[in-house]
Amino acid sequence: GVGMGMTAPVSITAFPAEDGSFQQKVKVSLRIPSQFQDNPPCPTDESIKIEERQGMTIYSTQFGGYAKETDYVNYAAKLKAALGSEAAYRKDFYLCNGYDPPMKPYGRRNEVWFVKE
């Protein structure tokens, strides 16, 4: 019965297929606001799980606009190319992050994160 409001970023864990597109399996994550961090309310929907995300080091790229799957896939490919073969990062997934509400038409911020190994 507790409303926490919307938080940013909304983070989607993408599991890339062989061709770089998203597999059907995705995971959407929302940040629990600071005032609820120590004692988050229990979800009433069994499909919602509370997880603690450990600290991580990431490689990131940023872009604007209303992001679609193809945008995230393209920017992930650009980030992969920029990193080359020397950087060690998780290849089995990456994170797609959006920071803005749908009604914000300009100055939108989106990011792709690769998690450093």
pLDDT digits (tens, 9 = 90+) for 59-94: 999 999 999 999 999 999 999 999 999 999 999 999
Q: Which CATH architecture has domain 8-31+55-113?
A: Alpha-Beta Barrel (3.20)
Residue 111 makes CB contacts below 8 A (sequence gap 6+) with 9, 60, 61, 62, 63, 95, 96, 97, 99
Break the chain into its structural domains and give their ranges.
8-31+55-113
Give strand pairing partners of 8.
none
Please, is 73 exposed, middle or buried when counting C-beta atoms within 10 Å of its C-beta (0-12, 13-18, 19+)? buried
Q: In whole numbers, what is the pLDDT of the chain averaged over residues? A: 91
* Residue 106 banded pLDDT, cuts 50, 70, 90: very high
- pLDDT band, very low/low/confident/very high, at 103 (cuts 50, 70, 90): very high
The C-alpha atoms of residue 46 and residue 60 are separated, in whole angstroms, by 32
Return the number of other C-beta atoms located less than 10 Å from residue 76's C-beta. 21
Q: How far is the C-alpha of 110 from the C-alpha of 20, rounded, in Å?
A: 18
pLDDT of 85 reads 92
* pLDDT band for position 17 (cuts 50, 70, 90): confident
What is the pLDDT at residue 42? 87
Prediction pTM value: 0.87
Q: What is the pLDDT of residue 37?
A: 87
